[in-house]
Amino acid sequence: MNDIPKIETKPPDGKEIIIEISNLKKTLGDNEVLKDVNISIYRGESLIILGKSGSGKSVTLKCIVGLMTPDSGKVNVLNINVPELDIDELQELRMKIGFIFQSGALYDSMSVRENLEFPLVRHEKLTDDEVENRIKEALTNVGLVESIDKMPSELSGGMRKRIGLARTLILKPEIMLYDEPTTGLDPATSKEISNLIIEMQKKFKVTSVIVTHDMKCAKMTADRIVVLKDGVFAAEGTYDELQKSDDEFVRGFFE
């Protein structure tokens, strides 16, 4: 990846910037979803992105991982501008990023074991025993080692999300992107998933970017929260700071 343009960043207060988005614009159809998004995300932090449905939170995540190409602007991940990468360079970068989908996105036709094996055997040269150990280790981390031979259709919504998390963590990424990880789950399971996010963050020291509507999840997991409104980040702060915000729109999320 020698030819990829690298942008030097000056981290404030000794913090290292791991993702830097500047002047990001993205239009879907006639709708200008992201108008001018600017943010720096620091290594090891847990950032929550709040916003109404359709405000472009998931689009921002997809631009970070290269699933969507922005109309303009820069998305520097680990000092590499994602929109300028070719497919091979993008694949190399994606090894360092994990993405948890709202639905879990488990491969329906494969068992849990095959789901976890899928990315592993394609990226690392391991013996069968090593693959088995890595799969069991990943499943132990999410407390579902007994489900190793089940098919996704036999799992509950919460279990699917935990398996999705295990499948992503098996490649030991530096950055985790969560797209509404607790949507559609009951409060108890939502709490379990939130705890798991915190646990994994501490254990693997990953940087987490979480898109959510679930304020309990936000309160538990957030180091910092940003609010997306009309295609720009309208507010930024800790949970307690934003809860006392003067802006009615921002306060609305906490009521």
Q: What is the C-alpha radius of gyration for the chain, rounded to an integer number of angstroms?
A: 18
Quick one: 119 or 157, whose CB is closer to other proteins?
A: 119
Q: Which two tokens stand for residue 145?
A: 């080692």
Binding residue (CB under 8 A) for other proteins from 23, 31, 72, 91: 91
Binding residue (CB under 8 A) for other proteins from 13, 86, 108, 129: 108
The residue behind tokens 């957030």 is 222
From the list 14-22, 29-37, 163-171, 214-222, the region that binds other proteins by CB under 8 A is: 163-171
Quick one: 90 or 232, whose CB is closer to other proteins?
A: 90
118 binds other proteins (CB under 8 A): yes
97 binds other proteins (CB under 8 A): yes
From the list 142-150, 167-175, 191-199, 236-244, the region that binds other proteins by CB under 8 A is: 167-175
Residue 79 gets the label, from left (phi > 0), alpha (psi -120 to 50) or beta, of left
119 binds other proteins (CB under 8 A): yes
Quick one: 81 or 243, whose CB is closer to other proteins?
A: 81
Restricted to residues 32-71, the positions that interact with other proteins (CB under 8 A) are: 65, 67
From the list 37-45, 88-96, 181-189, 198-206, the region that binds other proteins by CB under 8 A is: 88-96
Q: Strands, DSSP E only, in the chain?
A: 17-28, 31-42, 46-51, 72-77, 80-81, 97-100, 175-179, 207-211, 224-229, 232-237
Shortest CB 236 distance to other proteins, Å: 26
148 binds other proteins (CB under 8 A): no
Find the length of the chain. 255
Who contacts 99 (Cβ-Cβ below 8 Å, separation ≥6)? 61, 65, 67, 168, 176, 177, 179
102 binds other proteins (CB under 8 A): yes
Query: In DSSP terms, which residues pair with 74 in a beta bridge?
Result: 22
18 binds other proteins (CB under 8 A): no
Binding residue (CB under 8 A) for other proteins from 4, 105, 232, 234: 105
Distances (CA, A) of 174 to 147, 189, 203, 217, 236: 26, 25, 12, 21, 23
Q: Which amino acid type is present at position 173?
A: P
Cα–Cα dist 248/246, whole Å: 6
Residue ranges binding other proteins (CB under 8 A) = 65, 67, 91-92, 94-95, 97-99, 101-103, 105-108, 118-119, 122-123, 164, 167-168, 171
